[in-house]
């Protein structure tokens, strides 16, 4: 047993010094190195933390919502809190280091979120992923860490394309993001929809891609796409239904005359504002609308204008120069009628001339020369009314100026009596007639003259019977004549007569030629005369010989002796 224990006893080596690094420390050292490397990798990619102030939070969630640039995640929202003044929210975003150069004065931030409204649905990609912050930026060396966010998407004015400004009395259901079409091809989008500073109209800013800009010039016209169009022209019904995207988001179409495309003189003028018509049919109406030096005039009309509506046109020489903006009607105690005060916006720049006078000054001059306003109807008894500017020199008038409006002189429309009024007058006259007495007198007259009338009726019947017989005979003769003329031989008579006349003419021509050839002075006539003379001489000789032979039969043998 002692020997066995001796061989299995471990040998222990005594240390002669202090050893700080041993093999047991390798594992924690390697683990610490990896951790430091990972930490370095993490912090090397993390950029600065920025603050963005918005008016309100629109669905952002801390540690979840992303910051995106061209649809690439470049950061994450870390904290959302109220701003110090309480008028907005401050959003802290930890951004990646590689986009630090985009954090400068040109950086723009806005929140993209799902928006459901009467205009449709926008931001569909955020329904699953949630709201996020979009960044527009350009690389620069100067950096900035605090920003004020936008409430609407940023418009890049340096993008490849061109911006145009449109104007209309109302929005026509056009929203930001609506498509712009040229010949039913999408060429751009609506960037801004806002009420004008004076509150009189709605302004639209549209963006058109660069390759479609040459198709838009100073002659172009813009109109709102309708969801449903019906055309009854050319004897047929043509129905056109817009696409689903146009129905949901609306759209604007561009019409450019073909002869104006590519001409340098038709380039759009700087700061040109184009009118936006509410439909294609309104665009087709003749307009005189250049510029927007507009003015609202007041009109007082004494006649009924129940068919005049807000939006009804104001026309001059068949061209639309404005539209009705408001109508106020009241009962007049003096005239015992309903009088109306109509307000209409007129594009006064239409009347401005080359002498640099303003349009309203030209209108004042035209009014002194007899220009007045009248209510007219497009189609009597059916169509709506409109205001027509016409010249009437029967009575001089001027524009009456007040603190609020300038009152335009008006004249009462001369209307012919309507069909209904004439019918009513006729009925009233018929009611006044003594119809009952007339009927009684007529009955008495018929009774007193019953027998003569019966005899007269009998004679008329006989006359009509005889007339029927005559007509029947005439019909028979006509039918026989028709049958005769319908025969083929009868129909060929004119052709045969024509051929006979032609042959007769040819024969007469030949006879004429023959008579010319055998006339008194012709060669044939002289030769015939000579021959006849010789024959006469020969006949005389034969006559003498025959006499001698009668006297002396053997004279031919023996001779005369």
- Low-confidence stretches of the chain (pLDDT < 50) are 117-120, 233-234, 416-417
**What pLDDT score does 478 carry?**
59
Distances (CA, A) of 475 to 382, 470, 471, 505: 51, 9, 6, 41
Residue 196 has a pLDDT of 85
Nearest-Å Rg of the Cα atoms of the chain is 56
Contact between residue 314 and residue 387 where contact means Cβ atoms under 8 Å apart: yes
Cβ proximity of 161 and 196 under 8 Å:
no
The reported pLDDT for the residue numbered 481 is: 57
Q: For 246-381, list the strands marked E by DSSP.
A: 251-255, 273-277, 294-301, 313-316, 319-332, 337-347, 371-377
* Pairing mode, strands 221-224 and 66-69: unpaired
> Which candidate, 199, 150, 202, 200, places its Cα nearest to that of 178?
202
Maximum Cα–Cα distance across the chain: 228
Which pLDDT does position 118 carry in this prediction?
41
Average pLDDT over the chain, rounded to an integer = 75
Extract the runs of DSSP E, i.e. beta strands, from 42-160: 46-54, 66-69, 72-82, 89-96, 108-112, 115-117, 120-122, 132-136, 146-148
Beta strand residue intervals within 392-531, DSSP E: 400-401, 406-408
The beta strands (E) that lie in 196-272 are given as 202-209, 221-224, 228-231, 238-241, 251-255
Query: What pTM, to 2 d.p., does this model score?
Result: 0.49
Contact 218, 268 (CB under 8 A): yes
pLDDT of residue 308: 83
Q: 143 has which bridge partners?
A: none
Residue located via tokens 């813009």: 222
Q: What is the pLDDT of residue 54?
A: 93
- Cβ contact 161:198 at 8 Å: no
Cα–Cα dist 422/412, whole Å: 21
Q: Name the DSSP class of 150.
A: B
Burial class (CB in 10 A: 0-12, 13-18, 19+), 95: buried
Q: How is 153-174 classified by DSSP, letter by letter?
A: PPP-TTSSEEEEEEEESS-TT-
Q: Residue 47 burial (CB < 10 Å; 0-12/13-18/19+)?
A: middle
> Is 296 within 8 Å of 405 (Cβ atoms)?
yes
CA 447 to chain centre: 72
pLDDT tens-place string over residues 159-190: 788 889 998 888 888 888 888 999 888 899 89
């Amino acid at each position: 047993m002692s020997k066995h224990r001796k061989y299995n006893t471990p040998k222990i080596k005594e240390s002669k010094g202090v050893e700080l690094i041993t093999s047991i420390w390798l594992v924690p050292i390697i683990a610490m190195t990896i951790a430091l490397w990972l930490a370095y990798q993490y912090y090397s990619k993390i950029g600065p933390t920025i603050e963005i102030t918005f008016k309100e939070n629109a669905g952002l969630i801390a540690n979840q919502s992303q910051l995106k640039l061209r649809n690439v995640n470049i950061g994450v929202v870390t904290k959302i809190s109220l701003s110090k003044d309480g008028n907005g929210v401050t959003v802290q975003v930890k951004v990646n280091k590689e986009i630090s150069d985009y954090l400068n004065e040109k950086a723009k931030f806005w929140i993209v979120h799902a928006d459901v409204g009467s205009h449709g649905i926008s931001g569909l990609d955020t329904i699953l992923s949630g709201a996020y912050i979009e960044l527009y930026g350009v690389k620069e060396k100067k950096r900035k860490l605090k920003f004020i966010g936008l409430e609407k998407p940023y418009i890049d004015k340096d993008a490849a394309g061109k911006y145009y400004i449109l104007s209309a009395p109302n929005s026509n259901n056009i929203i930001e993001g609506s498509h712009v079409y040229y010949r039913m091809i999408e060429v751009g989008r609506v960037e801004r929809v806002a009420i004008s500073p004076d509150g009189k109209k709605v302004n639209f800013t549209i963006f058109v891609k660069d390759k479609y800009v040459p198709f838009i010039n100073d002659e172009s016209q813009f109109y709102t796409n309708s969801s449903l169009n019906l055309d009854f022209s050319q004897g047929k019904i043509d129905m056109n239904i817009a696409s689903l995207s146009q129905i949901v988001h609306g759209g604007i179409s561009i019409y450019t005359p073909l002869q104006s495309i590519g001409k340098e003189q038709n380039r759009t003028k700087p700061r040109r504002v184009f009118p936006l018509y509410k439909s294609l049919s309104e665009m087709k109406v003749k307009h005189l609308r250049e510029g927007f030096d507009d003015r609202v005039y007041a009109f007082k009309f004494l006649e009924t204008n129940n068919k005049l509506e807000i939006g009804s046109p104001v026309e001059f020489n068949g061209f639309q120069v404005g539209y009705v903006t408001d109508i106020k009607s009241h009962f007049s105690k003096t005239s015992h009628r309903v009088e109306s005060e109509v307000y209409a916006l007129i594009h006064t720049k239409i009347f401005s001339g080359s002498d640099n006078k303003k349009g309203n000054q030209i209108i004042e001059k035209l009014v002194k020369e007899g220009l007045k306003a009248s209510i007219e109807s497009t189609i009597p008894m059916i169509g709506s009314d409109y205001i027509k500017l016409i010249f009437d020199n029967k009575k001089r008038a001027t524009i009456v100026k007040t603190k609020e409006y300038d009152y335009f002189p008006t004249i009462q429309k001369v209307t012919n009596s309507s069909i209904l009024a004439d019918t009513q007058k006729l009925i009233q006259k018929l009611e006044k007639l003594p119809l009952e007495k007339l009927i009684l007198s007529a009955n008495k007259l018929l009774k007193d003259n019953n027998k003569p009338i019966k005899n007269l009726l009998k004679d008329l019947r006989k006359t009509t019977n005889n007339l029927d017989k005559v007509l029947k005979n005439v019909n028979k003769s006509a039918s026989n004549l028709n049958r005769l003329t319908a025969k083929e031989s009868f129909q060929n008579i004119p052709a045969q007569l024509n051929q006979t006349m032609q042959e007769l003419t040819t024969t007469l021509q030949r006879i004429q030629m023959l008579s010319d050839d055998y006339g008194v002075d012709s060669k044939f006539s002289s030769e015939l005369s000579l021959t006849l003379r010789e024959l006469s001489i020969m006949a005389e000789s034969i006559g003498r010989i025959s006499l001698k032979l009668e006297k002396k039969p053997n004279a031919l043998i023996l001779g005369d002796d």
